[in-house]
Amino acid sequence: MSPSHAAPRTGSIIGVLAAAGITVSLMQTLIVPLISTLPILLHTSAANASWAITATLLAGAVATPVAGRLGDLYGKRRILVASALLLAIGSLVCAPANSLTPMIIGRALQGFGLGVIPLGIAIMRDILPPRRLGSAIALMSSSLGVGGALGLPAAAIIAQNVSWHALFWGSAGLGLVLSVLILVIVPESPVTSPGRFDFVGAIGLSAGLLLLLLPVSKGSDWGWTSGTTLGMFGASAVILLVWGWWELRVAAPLIDLRTSARRQVLMTNLASVVIGFAMYAMSLIAPQLLQLPAATGYGLGQTMVQAGLWMAPAGLVMMAISPLAARLSSTRGPKTSLLLGALIIASGYGLALALMDNAWGVLIFSAVISGGIGFAYAAMPTLIMSAVPQTETAAANGLNSLMRAIGTSSASAVLGAILGNMTVKLGPVTVPSQDGFRAGFFIGGGVALLAALVVLTIPGRRRAGAHRVIDVRADLVRV
């Protein structure tokens, strides 16, 4: 990169990678407006239709750490393009579907593309100048929330006014355009890791995660004490223990558990689980509260489109917070930013208890919570990257993304059970009660405070982890 072209080139790289993150999060919210009508659209039962959501969750959990390791070994841009193409191919499979099987296959393929964000962050670490790195990583991290917030109203408008098939045709186009932009604008990272891909480790981790997350997401349907649910949890524990034994002995592990056991990495990943839980609690509760009929006495009677529009500013707040979060991480250390984010999230849930009676209140508390998430998400990659070798950046960030996914899955199970059991009758149907919503807000706030306590155990201040990143890069060049 010549000096005269470095600034615009850098801006283009950041823009394309951030767009990739937003596209990934759009894929996750794409199907939300269709949830209630999926059984009719796919000519199946409600329980079977839910697999269209579960498939993406499971595939994404498996793909994220695997894609990260493949990127470290064989080139991060190469795997990033492959991930974007999988998003497009999955959308093309879903677009003409009128039955369950192709929808599940397509949604699983979309899930295999979820490694885009950790790969994008790893590329940023390898190629961006120090002065742009912190803000770029913060923007990339916040893209997950931005796309989710903006995707909900956009998907609802398209589904209601055009066709639900158009959602997937459009996402296929986005995935293809994104692949081309990555190839044209984003250079390949010069940093790769020696060694071979750990196929045994990948199979073991995939099996363990599937057996863990499947009963988490389907336990309410199967019964939490059923033989199937408990059997899968038990099998997952055994497989992950054996997998850990293997990873500690293989020369080139899928995930370096010794590095992951370092206090800074371990506690940041634990914080990611609880932050992910706290984030999803708001995403799950607020839209339901907005859309419940006003006849309940506490529902706000909004349509899907209106609810999405009330939630959209939260994503914009997250994007606006990202440069401020990067500046705080640079001057006070990413631990400070993560702690502040957890405390802001907790205060947002406190506001929710007071402001849940009107749509403007929902907008305010969801924006506050999203602001806290922006601070937290900006800090976590920096904490991870300042504690791992540069050759393991993508794999380490992939593991961190997996921890967030486990948190969101757990939130879905816990809050789904609470809202499903604390109900009131509304004509012939039951809906979540006001006490159920309040309990959900209490839990979200409590989990955010737990995250703050976890953050306090992270080793002391790391000022400008990005500078350490650049120092490592310089050391590699000197070698």
Greatest CA separation for the chain: 73
* Closest to 31 in 3D by CA, of 168, 145, 147, 162: 168
CA end-to-end distance (rounded Å), the chain: 22
What local confidence, expressed as pLDDT, does residue 427 receive? Answer: 77
Secondary structure (DSSP) of 109-152: HHHTTTTHHHHHHHHHHHHS-HHHHHHHHHHHHHHHHHHHHHHH
Question: What is the Cα–Cα distance from 218 to 223, expressed in whole angstroms?
Answer: 8
* Closest to 375 in 3D by CA, of 412, 336, 325, 332: 325
> What are the residue boundaries of the structural domains of the chain, listed by start?
7-197+252-478, 198-251
Are the beta carbons of 383 and 310 closer than 8 angstroms? no
Question: What is the Cα–Cα distance from 256 to 393, expressed in whole angstroms?
Answer: 11
Which residues have CB under 8 Å from 226's CB, separation 6+? none
Are the beta carbons of 153 and 310 closer than 8 angstroms? no
Secondary structure (DSSP) of 361-411: HHHHHHHHHHHHHHHHHHHHHHHHHTTS-GGGHHHHHHHHHHHHHHHHHHH
What local confidence, expressed as pLDDT, does residue 195 receive? Answer: 79
Question: Strands, DSSP E only, in 304-382?
Answer: none
Here the tokens at position 76 are 């991060």
3-state secondary structure of 100: helix
Here the tokens at position 87 are 């998003």
| Radius of gyration (C-alpha) of the chain in whole angstroms | 21
pTM above 0.85, yes or no: no
Question: What is the Cα–Cα distance from 205 to 111, expressed in whole angstroms?
Answer: 16
3-state secondary structure of 424: strand
326-339 in b/e form (b: 16+ CB < 10 A) is bebbbebbbbbbbb
* Closest to 201 in 3D by CA, of 391, 57, 65, 394: 65
What local confidence, expressed as pLDDT, does residue 473 receive? Answer: 37
Question: What is the Cα–Cα distance from 307 to 319, expressed in whole angstroms?
Answer: 20
What CATH architecture does domain 7-197+252-478 belong to? Up-down Bundle (1.20)
Are the beta carbons of 286 and 302 closer than 8 angstroms? no
Are the beta carbons of 130 and 467 closer than 8 angstroms? yes
Are the beta carbons of 205 and 254 closer than 8 angstroms? yes
Question: What is the Cα–Cα distance from 465 to 133, expressed in whole angstroms?
Answer: 10
Which residues of the chain carry a pLDDT beneath 70? Answer: 1-8, 145, 460-479
Are the beta carbons of 48 and 381 closer than 8 angstroms? no
3-state secondary structure of 338: helix
